Structure formats: structure tokens, C-alpha cells
Structure 1
């Protein structure tokens, strides 16, 4: 199909912005840029075609959001692992409990995590342990 010639009038600042986006849009010239822009905008206006024109943008955006979220989650998990390691080494250095004692402690801690919805820290646990009789978690 042959292209038809058409005259359009743009404000100078619009033309400058368009020229600055030519390379980014992979357009060879202004005509190609305007053609792409019009197709995109018409696809946006027509609800039947909107997914064809926006899906790449949405997928890319969602991937970025998920990647950022995963990075934040990984950082938090790393910090939790460090805290857990500190506690494990602190406890292991000060106690020499039997396997049965450790199983009982695991049950006690599982119940405590459920009760507090995981909102525990080492200092609070230490304060609680100082107030409890030595065999509290062994019941």
C-alpha cells in the first residue's frame, strides 16, 4: 500500500521532543516516529487493541516491580539469617543441651512464633528467659 503525503503542524518544543526520542524509539526518521506514535495512540483509544499496544509495557513494568520486590525480600531474608546465626551461635556457645532439650525448645519456639506472629527479637527472648524458671520450655 502506498503512503499518502500529509502536512502536520507541530509546536517547536513538540518537534524538539520528538527529535530527541527518534533514536530511543528505533525510528529512522520523523515520518516513522509519527506513524508509530499514531498507531500506538489509536490502539490505546480502541479498547479492542489496547492489549496489543500496552502489553509489552505492562509486562516490562510488572517484571521490574517483581524484581524490586524480590530484591527487597532477599535483603530482608539475609538480615534474618544473620540474626538467626548470631542467636544460634550465642546459644550454642553458652549451653550444651541434649537432643531432647533441643526438640522441646523447638516446640516452645514454634508456639511462641505462632502466638506473636513472628514478631520476636533476641533481646525480648533474652528478657523472657531471665524471668522464666530454667525448665519452662521443657514441659
Structure 2
């Protein structure tokens, strides 16, 4: 290794066709010698190999993080849905206890609510229900 340049002298075998193609591409590579060409080519290839490993690592890491985030979100939504279902059940029992509703009226109410929830895509609005019950809509 020379102290001035930090370069090491080495030898390797190369196919004649590859060497000829390199010689043709020297001007395009903007280098003056085979040594510079080989150094640039090796740097490029090492960078390519390193980026492939980094890309694979990042993709695996990103996939793991996204999977974990989705799983945590599903768990939070499930817990909130459970709490809402408990509160809705309590409300339904209180209303059923305090009101005398016959089976036919209950069936009609079920059909009306089913159609309404489909129409409004589940976005229930108390004010709209209040207006409906007061015959304002």
C-alpha cells in the first residue's frame, strides 16, 4: 500500500470480453484509466449490494411495525366496541323495562332502524331520531 494514495496493488483475472467492454466505456464513465474504472465499478457494486440489504431490512422492519400497529389498533377498537355494547345493552334493558312495547311495534322498529343504519352508514344521530319521534321530519 502506498502511503500517498492509500491504494493497494492487486491482481485478478477477468474475461477478455469484459475487459474490452470496460475499455470502450472508459470515456462514458468519465475516468482516465482501467484502475479508476474498476474502482468506480466496485464502489458502485458494493453500494448496490449494501442498499439491497438495507432495503430488505427496512421492508421487514416496516412490515413488522405496521403489523404491530394494526394489531394494537384492532385491540383498542375491540375494547371500545365491547364497552359500547355493554352500555347499549344497559340502555336497552332500561328502556324495555320502562316501556310497554308490543311485538309488532318492536318488529317495525327493528326494520326501520335496520334501514336507517344502512342508509346513514352507521352514523347514528340522536337529534335526527328525536325529530323523527316528534314527527318533525
User: TM-score normalised to the size of structure 2?
Assistant: 0.49
Q: Which has the larger radius of gyration?
A: 2
Higher relative CO (Cα under 8 Å, sequence separation at least 6) belongs to 1
